[in-house]
Every structure is written in C-alpha cells, then in structure tokens.
Amino acid sequence: EVARRLFLSFEANFRSFERRLLSERRQVASNRRVQDPNLIFRDLRPPAARPVDSLLEHRSAEICEVVVDEGALELTQHVDWHPDFPLLHKGRPLQVAHVESDKIWVDLPENCAPGDRIDQPILLGSLPDVFRAFAQEWSRRWQRHDQVDPQRWAPLVASFAARRPIPPMDYHPITLATWRAEVQRKHAHSSTGPDGVSRADLLLLPLDLTQALLDLCHHAEATGEWPRQMLDGVVTALEKIPDASLVGQFRPITVLSLTYRVWSSIRARQCLAHLARYAPPGLLGNLPGHEAREAYNLLPRTPVLAFAAVCGVHAGIIRAWTGALSGFMRRFRVRGSLGPALPSTTGFPEGDGLSCVAMVLVNIAYHDHMSAHLPELRVLSFVDNWEAFARDPSQVLQAAAAQESFVQSWDLQLDPAKTKFWATQPRDRALFRATGNHVALDFKELGAHFQVSRRHTNSTQVARFKDVKPKWRRLAASVAPYTHKLRCLRVAAWPAALHAISIVSVGSQHVVSLRAGAMEGIGAKAPGANGRLHLGLVEHPSADPGFYALVSSFRDARVLYSQQELEPLLDQVVESAARHPGPAKVLLERANGVGVSWDPGMHSFVDDFGPLRLWTCSPQELEFRLVWAWQNAIKWDLSHRPGFHGLESADPLLTRRVLLSLPVAHRPLVKLSLNGTFFTNDALHHIGEGESPDCKYCGGPDSIEHRILYCPHFATCRRPPDCVTQRLSIEDIRRLPPALKLHCWARQPQGRLALLQALQSIPDSTSVFEHVPHQAVYDLFTDGSCLYPSESYLRVAAWGVVVAGGLGAPGTLLATGHLPGLIQSAFRAELTAVISAAEFAAISRSKIRIWSDCLGVVRRCGRLLQGDWSPGPSTRNSDLWSRLAAVVSSCRDRIEIIKVEAHCESEAQATFVDEWCAHYSSRVDSLAGTTNRGRSPDFWALWDTVRSSLEAECSIAQAVQALHGRVAFHSTRAPTPAMPVAPPQRAVLPPPVQFGQEAVDPEGRLGRRYGIQAVRRIEHWFKHCFVDSVPLHTPTRWVSLLQLLLDYSMSCGFAPPVFSGQLWLDPGLMQYGQLLTYHMGQRTRWFGQVLRRLILQTGGVWTVNERRPSSTALQVKLSCIPARWSQTRFEIVEAFLSRILPNGTVCGQNRGWRNIAVPHQCTDMIVP
C-alpha cells in the first residue's frame, strides 16, 4: 500500500511537471512567432519529403501457358528471379516448388490464365544495391550521348551560321562588390556544398582570400580549368509521392559547391539580361521577371554551347561553363553514405545557375526553327512547355511536323501523354482526331485550368481546393497570433488555392467550403459565426476567397489584356445569351455579383461612383471600389438575418477603427458579436449547447438584447460612467437599429457617398496654365497640400506650380487645382503638380527645372527621366505615373528634377541658393494650401456634414462596442450564479415507433431497392429487439439512429445498406463489405431512411426528433425516435460508446461520433 501511494504521488507530480513543460514550450513557440511572423509559413508546410532509405525492385513476366498436368506456369520471357523473395499472382503469394527463368512449378492458384502476370518485389536495403539502382536509372539520362558520334551534331551546328548573329554581350571581370552582393543574395540557409564552404564562410572571408577565389574563377574563364573540389555534387533523392519505393518515384536534388553556384548565378544573370534584349516575344520562361523551373537533364550539351556562341555569350563564360560540365561528378547520398562518382555527358545540373541559360538558348532555337518553317505561326514557350497557335488547323499540323523535326535534330524527348491538340471548332477537332492526335477540350496549363470548348469545366481548380484542405488543420494547430494567420490567408492560402481563378468559374459551394476552412484555420469557427461576414466585413475583404477571386479577375484583366482586346469580348458577353467559358464571361459574372456592370456604350464598368475605367485608374482606386462593392453586397445579402436589420447602412472601416480603441482583451469578444456567433441560450439550446433557452444568469428569456441591455447580472457594466457618455445613455442604445445595438456595427457617416462622388467629379486642370513670359529656362516649384492627411474620410488634396524669379520676388502662378479622384493623398497631389510642370515643358519647348520637396516623387521621376524604370499596371499610382511617362517621352532631355528641403525658413539658410529655394518652396506651399481651402460653399457644407456625422457615429459605436466588451468580459471571468432548481417534470413522450398491421413484402419495391436479405434482416431485428422481446412495462426513451445502427451491427455482425451514389449495396452480401469506407454520419442517415420506409410501408408510426438521446456518452443533439429499448441492450451499446469515443463522451459541437467504425458482432446481442 505504501509503494502504491508513493507511485501515485510520483505519477501525479510527474504529470504536473509534464503539463508545465508543455505549457512553457507552447508559450516559447508562441513568443517566437510573435517576433518572427514568417514562422507561420513553416507551420503550414506539409511534412518534408523523406530521403531514400531503401528501394523496391520489381521483376515481372507474363504467363503464356498454364500446364495443369505439371502444375507449372510457362512465361513469355526469361527473368532472373530472386530466390529469397516470394512470387506473387494478383497480389497473393504462390506456393513455389521449383523456379526457372521461364517456367515456375507451383500449386496452381484459382482463376490463373494466360495473360496474367507473375510479379516479384525485391527489397534493396544494402547501400551497394541502392547505389547501383540509382546509378542504373540516372546514368541512362546523364550519359545518354556517351556513344553518340560527335559528327551527329555537325549539321545542326552548321545551320546556326545561317542565323543572324546576336551582338556580343558586355563582359567584365567579376568584382569584389558584385561577388559579395551575390553571396548576400543567397538564402541564409543555402545548402553547403561537398567542399564544406558555406554562405557564412564566404561572407566572413577576408578581402584577399575573396580575391583569391575570384582569381580561380577568372582562371577558369581563361582556361576552362576548375579545382576538382568545386566540381563534385552530392545528390539527395527525395520522394515525389508519399511512401515512395521505386527508383523513379524519387527526385534527385544536386548540391554543388557554393563557390561555383555564386559564380554561375552572376554569369547566368548577365547572360539572361543579354538574351532578353534579343529573345522572341513569345519566349516567357527563365528570363528576368519570369518564373524559372528546372528541366535540363536531357538537353544535349554540344549544340547548346555552340548556339550560345552564336547568341553572343562571351567565350570566357562558355569556356568555364564547358570545363565545369565536363568535370562534374555526382554522388548519391543514402543514409549518410556517399555512393560512387557518376560522370555525365548529357544535360545540365539543376544546381547550376547557367542551366537556365541553356534552356533559354534551346527555346530561342525553337522559336527560330518554327518561324522559319511557318512565319505566320504564333509560338509561346515557358521553359519546357511549348505551344503553337494558328487560325487554320492545317497550319497546326504543319507546326507539329516542324516541332518534331526540331526535336529530332536536337535529340530531345517529348512526353506524348502531355502533347495535346485543341481547337475551338468541332470540325477542326474532328480533323485532328482523324490524323491520330490526342484532342483535349480542357487541360491543365502551367497550373491553370484551360478550357477550349463550350463545355464548362473546372477540374484543375477543384483539385487545388482539395489540396488546400490539409492546410486548415495545420493553420489551426499553429500557435501564431490571429493577425499572422489572417496574413497567411492573403499571401499563402488564397494564392495557392485560387491560382489562375480569373479564367474559370467555380460554384458558390466551393467558395463556401474555402471560407469555412479559413474560419477553422484562424480559430473563428463557432456556432452562428458567418464566414462571409467575418472575412468580408469584420476583417479586410482580402481575407475572403470570394473577394480574392473578384480582385484577381479585375487585376488580371488589367495586366494580361489590353483594352482593345477585352472590350469586344465584354460587349459580346453582355449582348449574347450564350454562356461561353472564358475570362471575359468570368470577369463579368463576378462584377455583376457585386453590383458592378459593363456599359458597352461607355466602354467602361459602372458602379456607385460612376464609370470605372479599368485600364486607367490606379490600383488603389480599383481596390477601394471593389471593396466598396463587395461589402455592400454582403451587407444587403445579410441584412435580412434576425438581429442584423440595418446592416446595409453599416461602415466596416469605421467599425474596425472603433474596435481597435477597445482594450485588447475585449476585442476578440466583440468580434463574436460582429460576426453573429451564438453566445446566448435562445440560440445555443437549438444546437445542443444547453437544454433551456433561458438566461443562465437570471433565469429570464435569453437573447442578445436581454444579455446586453436588461439582464440584472450585468447591471454593473451599464452603470455610469462605464456606459453613459455625454451624448449617449442606455435608453439611447436601446433605440438604436439592431445591427448596431445587438452586433456593434457602426453606421456610415451621413453624406459619405455624396462626398466621394463629389471628389470623383473634380475636373483635371493639369493642362490649364496661366500666361507667363517666355524664358529659355524655367524653374518650376511644385507642391501638394492635403487637409486631414491621417483621416481617410475627410482628407482632400490640392496642388500648385509656381514659376520662380529672383530672390524676394513673389513668383508667377503657372497652374493650380484640386486633386480629382477617390484617392486623396499628399503624394498624389505632389505627383500631379509634377505632371502639370512636365506638360508645360512639352508645350513650351524650353528647358525646365522642376523643384519638388517630395523625395519619393523626385527619386522615381529621376529614374523615369533616365529610362531606368517604367510604370506597370500594378504600380502604385500607375494612372499618374503612366501619364507622366507619356508626357516626358517627348521632352526627356529638356527636363531636370531637383529635390528641395520642405518647410524651411528662407532667413535661416546659409547660401543664396538655399534661401532662394526655401523662398519659392514656401510660396508654392502657400499656393497649394490656399487652393485646397478655396472650394465651393456647397462642397464645404457636404464635407462638414460628413465630419460631424463621423464624430457622432464614432462616439455611438464606441459606446456600444465598449458595453458589449464589458458584458462579454464579465461573463467569461465572473462565476455563473447558482440558479434555483425547479422540481423535475416528467416529460411526455410520443408513442413508440412500431410496425403497422400490413405485412412487408421483401421482394417488393423495398427489396428491389435495398436488397431482399437486408429488408428481411432489418424487419426481423427491429421486431425482436423493440417489440417481441421487450416487456410492455418497459419505459419509452429517446433512442438515436446512431444507437439503433450500433445495436443492429452488433446483432448481425455487419452494417446496414449503404448508397454508393448510383445504387444501394448490402454489406452483408459482399465479400469485403466491412471495408466500405463511409463515415458514421452517412451510415446513420441511410439507415434511418431504410427503417423509416420499412415502417411506413406497414402503416406503422414513425416519429423523429432532433434532440439529445438517452445516453451518457452522447451529449449532443441527434436524430432520435421514441422506442422501448431493453436496458441490457442499452447498456451494451453505452459501454461500447464509452470505450470507443475520445474521453468516453461527445458534447457540444464535438462530432467525434462520426468517426466510429462499424462494430463487430456481440454474442450478447445476437438476434435468434
């Protein structure tokens, strides 16, 4: 007894210590993720691919004859069978008497016939065997051209001379600065090569030793000779698929010397920049600004290096590259051991930066070859993905022949399974099929779902949705903060799941499923919580998959299509009743879904603010208008929901701003009110969270309004000065709209839309100039002014340009105006002023010096004038930068831009020039401010309405959210008061479910549907267990369909009928019926359907109710029927549930019962 007590004491202390360690470990992990936001991406990664440990080698032969008299199998070929491993026929081992290479004497298996195969999987576990298997597999690729006559390439290399040569590239020796910059560019955890030199070593190397490394590289470029240590590569084979066992199921990853990788990266970047200037327009992969992939193992070296010289790659780089390729030796690493060295004569190593150059060279040659044969053909290439387009199917067939000739001349290999022909017309597809080609109607293209017929499909996209599901569990398990998880949705989850979503339609159920997964991942999933409301209004809509798809469609339309290309397609979609797949139709569907339409007459989208010029507005304006439209759609769709009346006038931005003013501990609690989460018993009792709809604090009828505004338990939370402000009392809160009063949604300030529309209607005045005397050189001072720059609801901006004169002179007004558009900021005003000055330069023909105090504008404008940068569709403020670029293109040599200090006193300057600059900078600043204030009385009246309404709505929302926060915080911290216990009342149950008087015909309609044996079995079981063997005095109880199914399975030994999607299956008549994989929720639903139809056909009584069953283990609401169930059978089922369920019970929202397996037959439950 003493020893037992000592053990129990030790165990209790040990468990306590273990819990404390786990808690501390979790806290440390959480703190690390707060300090490093990128650690969450490590949490999301799937398990790392495992390196090879052992292999399986398969030997196989086909049976040509079964010799029954001899008990032998004759094979079609000779096989070197291994004596230590079994032979298999259809997955089952054979009883072997004697084995020869082409004949096997065995106990003949059943159903053995000619054409069957005999297999023998052989385990390769020793290192020599594993190394030998990899060497045999990869030497066939790496030494593919070992026996090829060098003259094989002579005609191909000679054909390069006919090509117009590319000018030679600029070549300079690598400097110390360039070398160190490239080393720093390498990832901090870059793999160390076989020579043991790491990134940290190269960074810490003294200058003289770094220069010695550069001398080695320069020597290699001069002679082609490299140190032996730099040409060894270690190959780690990682599994491509889970549980890989064959050689081909592993991906070899080669790690070369880091010194060589740095040199090759520098030279590759220089070569690619050179080739990009002369590359065909359809060559997209591996060039700067494009994605790169590794597909280089089969490229022939001789023609690639010869073509590099024709394309202007410097001879020194080619010389060093050739020397490295000829000297590379790769060794596979298995279980920490290195295998024998494997040379190579074919392909380019994946770890070599110059391998990208090799692929680009092959693609340039491919484009040249195709254009020489068919000049009118449009050719695209992306690394190893080649495409050819034509308007005539005969030209496509000619292109296929030309491509085949290119492949033959370069000795490349195409994958026939991935080669597809497609056409948009049925007659063209028929022609392709008639010529024996594989015709596709849709296919996966660079990760996107590509549709080339009228059939609507989205299989590739749906597969992406399935692939992202495991991420939700990993995201939920991460201890990273909530804000980091939200960021992870935007930058990791949605880009992966919704890649290329702009060209394919997906059903709303897929978006709902993604939204539900995201809610689970970020920890916001709860009864009543609306994912669309939470991700679209409570948080910025970029966290919502539907909004991401909407933005992707508009963004891709801006970036990938010109206005001239897309406008006719949008007009056609609007005017046509047919629903053809394609990006235009997808774009218009998503735009119409949020109230944005396409007007063919205006050639523009139209929303609440007027025309939306997709190709000329700024990215910020496009995002603002899409957010506005998306949130308005959500508000109107959900405003009918009980408690959310008035949501259509809510302001999500103001709501989030007020939320941030609350104490940190109150914010997540108020978010529960915002997203509709159930937390009162009037809602929770419907989903099994409590038996009564009454308030657990006071006993009255529970509701959100009662809990927040009336429950006496929370009276202290409503007392002054906690709740009552100078402008709002509890009575005022009770009169507010439900969306604000019950769910804390702040209302939009009055006049907000009208003010935005007024800003949008401001005319552009950058080309309206005052008359100024002609000068050979103009000094133009520009400035922008913004009122309330930190308040997005109220800020307004203006700009001005002044022509400078002498020191002390007032200067001459050249141009001024108000900043037009929805996006008002000081930076845009500064940039608009520079645009006005540039436009003056374009018409004045004089030299212009522009003086600006905005460093961002000066720097980027300087790069624009030098030709080092040009704006793209995704550039911030691209509308203004594109205008500026168009203006300065004709007068770049006459414009100079200079930075001046902002807001300096002219008297405090040390030099005449500084004083002069400060004087005119102050003048133009004053001009811009005066212009900004000089607006119409109507505008200021509207602006003042918004300002006063903003203050009032902010104050009201703050009071309501603070009240909700205090009540919620008090309810989670204070103990629940003990309520008086009411005397128990006996519940009146409906009559028990039982069969009627009519007989069941097992061979009738039910038998044909569910199976004759199943109908007879279920009828006999139910009558015996719930009618015949149960005494009449047995009380009626609520029995769940789950308990009934478990009783049936434990009685019969197998599951009831299941539905396969097309027909009903009886597991009792199937050889492996117990292996059918359906979760218990489906099985329970189907069993209830069969039982209900069976009872109703006899004229019996069927009553079903959603409630908690009579069970200690099942404390959740399930579909139940009233039945008289014997206490013995009830206790056996109850014991099974207590044993099989996690923690012996399920309660609340736990759905662990759905994972229960069908139980085996129980001897105490067998029905005679």
- DSSP secondary structure string, 812-848? EEEEEEEPPSS---HHHHHHHHHHHHHHHHHHH-SEE
What's the confidence (pLDDT) of residue 907? 59
**Does one domain contain both 959 and 810?**
no
* pLDDT category of residue 285 using cuts at 50, 70 and 90: low
Q: What is the average pLDDT across 623-633?
A: 96
Percent of the chain with pLDDT over 90: 62
Tell me the pLDDT band of 288, cut-offs 50, 70 and 90: very low
Look at residue 726 in the predicted model and tell me its pLDDT. 45
Q: What value does the mean pLDDT take over residues 272-280?
A: 91
Hey, how many other C-beta atoms are within 10 angstroms of the C-beta on 13? 10
Q: Under a CB-based contact definition with an 8 Å cutoff, are residues 715 and 615 in contact?
A: no
Within this chain, do residues 560 and 662 fall inside the same structural domain, yes or no?
Answer: no
Does residue 604 contact residue 616 with C-beta atoms inside 8 Å? no
Do 1121 and 1150 share a domain, yes or no?
yes
Q: Is residue 980 part of a domain?
A: no
CB burial string 437-469: b at 16+ within 10 A, e below: bebbebbebeebbbbbbeeebbebbeebbeebe
Quick check: 172 pLDDT over 60?
A: yes
Q: Give residue-wise pLDDT tens across range 296-353.
A: 788 999 999 999 999 999 999 999 999 999 999 999 999 989 999 999 999 998 888 9
Residues 596 and 710 in one domain: no
pLDDT score at 883: 94
* Vertex 1018 angle, CA 1012 and 1020, to 5°: 100
Question: For residue 393, is it within any domain?
Answer: no
Q: What are phi and psi of 880, to 5 degrees?
A: -75, -40
The conformational region for residue 1070 under phi > 0 = left, psi -120 to 50 = alpha, else beta, is beta
Residues 359, 286: contact at Cβ < 8 Å?
yes
pLDDT (mean) for 962-968: 93
For 927-946, the three-class secondary structure string (H helix, E strand, C coil) is HHHHHHHCCCHHHHHHHHHH
Query: 65 phi and psi, to 5 degrees?
Result: -155, 140
Name the domain boundary from 350, 368, 387. Answer: 350
Query: Can you tell me whether residue 233 is helix, strand or coil?
Result: strand
What is the model's pLDDT at position 978? Answer: 64
Average pLDDT (1157-1164) is 87
Q: Does 1148 have pLDDT greater than 80? A: no
What is 32-52 written as a DSSP string?
Answer: HHHH-TTHHHHHHSPPPPPBP
Q: Is the dihedral of CA 1013, 1018, 1023, 1024 positive or negative?
A: positive
Report the C-alpha gap between 687 and 700 in whole angstroms.
20
Closest CA to 485 of 513, 516, 523, 541: 523
Does position 291 have pLDDT exceeding 50, yes or no? Answer: no
Read off the pLDDT of residues 46-57 as tens digits, 9 standing for 90 and up: 888 888 888 888
| CA torsion, ordered 29, 34, 36, 37, to nearest 10 deg | 110
Q: Is residue 554 part of a domain?
A: yes
Asked if residue 986 has pLDDT above 70, the reply is no
Q: How confident is the model at residue 910 (pLDDT cuts 50, 70, 90)?
A: low
Helix (H) or strand (E) segment spanning residue 1016: helix 1012-1023
Burial class (CB in 10 A: 0-12, 13-18, 19+), 608: middle
Q: Which residue has the tokens 């190269």?
A: 202
Q: State the sign of the Cα–Cα–Cα–Cα dihedral 911, 914, 919, 922.
A: negative
Per the CB < 8 A criterion, the answer to whether 1057 and 1064 are in contact is yes
* 443 within a domain of the structure (yes/no): no
Predicted confidence at residue 294, as pLDDT, reads: 43
Q: Which of 611, 632, 659 is the last residue of a domain?
A: 611
b/e code 115-129 from CB counts within 10 Å (16+ = b): eeebebbeebeebee
292: pLDDT confidence band, cut at 50, 70 and 90?
very low
Same domain flag for 701 and 837? no
Q: What is the pTM of this model?
A: 0.85
995 lies in a domain?
no
- Spatial neighbors of 602 by CB under 8 A, at least 6 apart, are 611
Nearest alpha-carbon partner for 907 in 821, 1014, 807:
807
List b or e across 1027-1054, with b for residues whose CB sees 16 or more CB atoms inside 10 angstroms. eeebeeeeebbbbbbbbbbbbbbbbbbb
201 and 325 in a common domain: yes
Is the residue at 42 inside a domain?
no
Listed range (154-168, 563-577, 908-922) with the worst mean pLDDT: 908-922
Question: Phi/psi zone of residue 111: left (φ > 0), alpha (ψ -120 to 50 degrees), beta?
Answer: left
88 and 21 share one domain: no
Q: Are 652 and 540 in contact (CB under 8 A)?
A: no
Instruction: Find the range with the poorest average confidence among 31-40, 675-684, 993-1002.
Output: 993-1002
Same domain, 743 and 765: no
pLDDT for 979: 59
Which domain CATH number covers 806? 3.30.420.10
Whether pLDDT at 902 is above 80 = no
* Exposure letters 685-715 (e unless 16+ CB within 10 A, then b): beebbbeeebbbbbeeebbbebbbbbbebbe
The tally of domains found in the chain comes to 7
* Residue 414 domain flag: no
Task: Provide the residue range defining the domain that includes 889.
Answer: 760-935
pLDDT tier at 901 (50, 70, 90 boundaries)? confident
> Residue holding tokens 């308005």?
632
Distances (CA, A) of 180 to 176, 204, 205, 288: 6, 10, 10, 21
Whether 209 and 262 share a structural domain:
yes
CA distance 449 to 388: 18
| Contact indicator for 438, 419 with CB cutoff of 8 Å | yes
* Arithmetic mean of pLDDT over the chain: 89
The pLDDT score that the predictor gives to residue 892 is 87
CB 1042 within 8 A of CB 1108: no
Are 766 and 912 contained in the same domain? Answer: yes
Q: State the alpha helices, DSSP H only, in 334-392.
A: 354-373
Integer Cα distance of 678 and 690 in angstroms: 12
Q: What are phi and psi of 1104, to 5 degrees?
A: -130, 145
pLDDT at residue 305, as a whole number: 94
Of 880 and 1026, more confident: 880
Q: How many Å apart are CA 46 and CA 678, to the nearest integer?
A: 34
What are the percentages of helix, strand and coil residues in the chain, rounded to 5?
50, 15, 35
Tokens of 532: 């669309």
Same domain (yes/no): 788, 711: no
Does residue 904 lie in a domain region? yes
Average pLDDT over residues 550-565: 93
Structure tokens at 1002: 């097992």
pLDDT at 449 over 50: yes
Q: How far apart are CA 1056 and CA 1091, in angstroms?
A: 10
pLDDT (average), residues 102-126 = 89
Cβ–Cβ under 8 Å, residues 1024 and 1167: yes
pLDDT confidence of residue 333: 93
Over 50: is that where the pLDDT of 702 sits?
Answer: yes
pLDDT of 1161 higher than 70: yes
For 771, phi then psi, to 5°, come to -75, 130
> How many residues are listed for the chain in this entry?
1168
Rg for the chain, CA atoms, rounded: 38
- Residue 331: which of 191, 226, 190, 236 has the closest Cα? 236
Query: Does residue 156 have a pLDDT over 80?
Result: yes
Q: Which of 135-149, 386-400, 1065-1079 has the lowest mean pLDDT?
A: 1065-1079
Contact (Cβ atoms closer than 8 angstroms) between residue 103 and residue 74: yes
- Using left for φ > 0, alpha for ψ between -120 and 50, and beta otherwise, residue 975 falls in beta
Looking at residues 982-1006, what average pLDDT do you find?
Answer: 77
Taking Cα atoms as reference points, which of 415, 412, 419, 523 lies closest to residue 153? 412
- Residue 317 CA to residue 334 CA, distance in Å, equals 34
Q: Can you give the pLDDT at residue 131? A: 93
587 shares a domain with 694: no
